[in-house]
Structure 1
Amino acid sequence: MPAVTLADRLRELRGSLTQRQLGRALGVSVPLISSWEHGVVPPPERLDDYARYFALAEPGSTLPTPEQLSPDERQTYDVLRRGLHRLRGSSEIEPELPHPLRFPPGQAITIVPSELPSHVRDQFGDVSKPQGPDYVDAYKYADLDALIELLSFIRGMNPTNPTTVGVPSELSTDDLTAHLIALGGVDFNEVTEATLTDLSHVPVKQLRRATFQDTGSFSVGYADGRRVELAPKLRRDQRGTTLREDVAHYLRAPNPYNRERTLTFFNGMYSRGSYGIVRALTDPKIQERNAAYVDRRFHGADTYSIVCRVKIVANEVVVPDWTVDDIRLHEWPEAEHDRSSGAAAH
């Protein structure tokens, strides 16, 4: 009996599905599916997609993220993936770690940064005025450091996904129905404010600042009925105001404008908090640890939330490590032992 080839195995997996149906699910063209089934060797990441799709108990019309696989499906995925890579001739097969910022190939992503109000932009002079010779359009963004960090990471991790960046006034309906990532809070980001209204069951609310100089805070609720306000820590002296520790919020939920896509919040009370909470999932030294914590802690939940400290040391942002209990200020859904013991807020 002749040995089974990779092309044979790919045709066998497809089964009764048409090449068009499979191509739509994987985000690739019919000719590409056909070429793989006739001997062209797919890149390793496409074999991962095959394994993830056919690990599903009932494969549908979309490719699941690693986080969406059940424990049994994850086991099936690992077996399928190793088998496909072995047929491909891969010498070493590294496990694919689930990551909240890895999206199914080909699916659109929209990043919505906060927009600085005009009275703040006016302080920048001519570079913030469209008629100015040195006009810089990016000065409209409130969390520019966080945006640069997030955008480069998203594009690197999702090379086949079209990615749009725009403030709320620039977005179309199609943009809002993509995988939606909102950067910044309710003071400057209309999308954050609107979608939080749709997520009223999440017990985390950002309290709007009465004035631009106010500190602001998050209000968090617990299963026993308590509500606690979590605020940044500032030091004020004759030299001015210094941020010592911010409070930031990471949230994941289904996109309320398209339930088949996701909504992600990165939101600090200050810009440095937004940068720190983004770095929690992009920093080379910390992000895999935090992604693994999210997968372990919230596996199977489509909506979850972490409010944490973002410490500032020697004027530098310290990336929050979510595996450290003291860094996490509030988690939802609450862990079973927290609900049963009535654990106090940090």
Structure 2
Amino acid sequence: MSTLAERLRELRGQLTQLALGRVLGVSVPLISSWERGAVPPPERLNDYARYFAQAKPGPKLPRLGELSGDEHQAYEKLRRDLNRLRGSVEDEPEVPHPLRFPPGQAITIVSSELPGFIREQFGDVSKPQGPDYVDAYKYADLDALIELLSFVRGMNPSNPTLVGVPRELSTDDLTAAHLIVLGGVDFNEVTEAVMDDLSHVPVKQLRRATFQDTGAFSVAWADGRRSEFVPKLLPDQHGTSLREDVAQYLRAPNPYNRERTLSFFNGMYSRGSYGVVRALTDPEIHRRNATYVDRRFRGADTYSIVCRVKIVANEVVVPDWTVDDIRLHEWPEVERDRSGGAAIQ
């Protein structure tokens, strides 16, 4: 019986590692490492299966919907075989991932921008005239942006991806692309505009009156109740530490072009934004959360999850949306029918 590495070399055949890397959106050293025994993540094996299931593989990775009936059967068989060799048999069909977009379609990541009075504290590296100027210091949620950008590009290798703060982006950047908006109303004016456009979603982020305030997410329940979810801050020997943030993941049609999507990741603090991004990018959690989203919101074009982001030993714990206590509010809500069953509102 062949090993996974041998099977990957066999599939590549006469195709160069460079050509395959371009199709999959990965580097030649990474392809080489997989063919020498390193273990690819399951989503990469699914990409292998989609590509080599084609009767005549071309220069691009096809969508599942672009495969013929015979090719789709070949894809399912090859995907199971590769995952079996990897040691993770997956008999269920591939679950759609919220951050996988149709090939070739543009993606724009709109990041929050740090205010000038905060950037000034970084010294010369934040000043354009300085010899050691670092442009990336303008981003308010840099950890979340780095995590998100690498994952989105890896999952969508043929999609042009643009990153910028609101002042840098044109109307075309917002209307012609799948929008991914990162960060809250305090530092991201696109977030504020989008939330106004999505007024039917019963979740609002409350602005912080001062920089010292925690802010909150306000939600309106279907039964008329209102709740405010606030971060948990505790005093310690260094001042105040964040013990638990509150964050929102929202998916909707792009309000400026309904043929594209909007994905919204926002915590009250930067680590909340990072945690809710990791919910859909972390290698151990993202497939589980993507499966939960697919099953819970199937058929809904607009949905929202407000969740806890716990901080333990100063490290972000990735939210697991399958745990009831982690989810604070979901919309559309689930209501109980008279027989005791659950029905989506």
Report the TM-score range of the alignment, normalised by the length of the smaller protein: 0.7 to 0.9
Is residue 244–residue 308 contact of structure 2 (8 Å, CA) maintained in 1? yes
The corresponding residue for 2:160 is 162
TM-score by length of 1: 0.75
The corresponding residue for 2:129 is 131
SS of the equivalent of 1:46 reads coil
> How far has the Cα of 1:97 moved from its partner?
2.1
> How far has the Cα of 1:135 moved from its partner?
0.3
The corresponding residue for 2:235 is 236
State the Cα deviation string for residues 190-242 of structure 1 (Å, max 9, x = none).
10000100000000000000011111100011001111000000002452010
Q: How does 1:5-44 map to 2 (within 5 A)?
A: 40-42=56-58
Q: State how far apart, in whole Å, the 2-side matches of 1:340 and 1:192 are.
A: 40
> How far has the Cα of 1:296 moved from its partner?
0.2
State the Cα deviation string for residues 87-114 of structure 1 (Å, max 9, x = none).
9999658742210000000000000110
Question: Does residue 186 in structure 1 map to residue 196 in structure 2?
Answer: no
Question: Does residue 200 in structure 1 map to residue 199 in structure 2?
Answer: yes
TM-score by length of 2: 0.76
Query: What is the aligned counterpart of 2:114 among 107, 113, 116?
Result: 116
Question: Does residue 107 in structure 1 map to residue 123 in structure 2?
Answer: no
> How far has the Cα of 1:47 moved from its partner?
6.1
Q: State how far apart, in whole Å, the 1-side matches of 2:267 and 2:77 are.
A: 47
277 and 86 in structure 1: CA distance in 2 versus 1, 3 angstrom threshold: closer
205 and 87 in structure 1: CA distance in 2 versus 1, 3 angstrom threshold: closer
> How far has the Cα of 1:249 moved from its partner?
0.4
SS of the equivalent of 1:194 reads helix
AA paired with 1:155? R
> How far has the Cα of 1:244 moved from its partner?
0.2
Is residue 279–residue 285 contact of structure 2 (8 Å, CA) maintained in 1? yes
Is residue 101–residue 156 contact of structure 2 (8 Å, CA) maintained in 1? yes
Is residue 276–residue 317 contact of structure 1 (8 Å, CA) maintained in 2? yes
Q: How does 1:257-272 map to 2 (within 5 A)?
A: 257-272=256-271
Is residue 185–residue 206 contact of structure 1 (8 Å, CA) maintained in 2? yes
39 and 200 in structure 1: CA distance in 2 versus 1, 3 angstrom threshold: closer
Q: State how far apart, in whole Å, the 2-side matches of 1:333 and 1:327 are.
A: 17
Is residue 304–residue 332 contact of structure 2 (8 Å, CA) maintained in 1? yes
The corresponding residue for 2:319 is 320
Query: What is the aligned counterpart of 2:72 among 77, 82, 86?
Result: 82
Question: Does residue 50 in structure 1 map to residue 71 in structure 2?
Answer: no
Q: State how far apart, in whole Å, the 1-side matches of 2:79 and 2:97 are.
A: 26
SS of the equivalent of 2:62 reads helix
Q: State how far apart, in whole Å, the 1-side matches of 2:310 and 2:63 are.
A: 41
Q: State how far apart, in whole Å, the 2-side matches of 1:252 and 1:143 are.
A: 19
The corresponding residue for 1:282 is 281
Is residue 47–residue 84 contact of structure 1 (8 Å, CA) maintained in 2? no
Question: Does residue 329 in structure 1 map to residue 307 in structure 2?
Answer: no
> How far has the Cα of 1:339 moved from its partner?
11
Is residue 249–residue 265 contact of structure 1 (8 Å, CA) maintained in 2? yes
Q: State how far apart, in whole Å, the 2-side matches of 1:313 and 1:142 are.
A: 22
Judge which range, 40-49 or 308-317, deviates more: 40-49
> How far has the Cα of 1:173 moved from its partner?
1.3
State the Cα deviation string for residues 68-99 of structure 1 (Å, max 9, x = none).
xxxxxxxxxxx665335489999658742210
The corresponding residue for 1:6 is none
AA paired with 1:279? R
Q: State how far apart, in whole Å, the 2-side matches of 1:265 and 1:233 are.
A: 22
AA paired with 2:133? Y
Alpha-carbon RMSD across the aligned residues, in angstroms, is 2.7
The corresponding residue for 2:302 is 303
The corresponding residue for 1:8 is none
Please list every run of 5 or more consecutive structure 1 residues that lacks an aligned counterpart in the other structure.
1-37, 55-78
The corresponding residue for 2:146 is 148
Q: State how far apart, in whole Å, the 1-side matches of 2:260 and 2:60 are.
A: 25
Q: State how far apart, in whole Å, the 2-side matches of 1:39 and 1:92 are.
A: 18
SS of the equivalent of 1:196 reads helix
Is residue 47–residue 85 contact of structure 1 (8 Å, CA) maintained in 2? no
> How far has the Cα of 1:39 moved from its partner?
6.8
Q: State how far apart, in whole Å, the 2-side matches of 1:287 and 1:116 are.
A: 28
AA paired with 1:186? V
Please list every run of 5 or more consecutive structure 2 residues that lacks an aligned counterpart in the other structure.
1-53, 84-89
State the Cα deviation string for residues 264-321 of structure 1 (Å, max 9, x = none).
1100000000000000000000000000000000001000000000000011000000
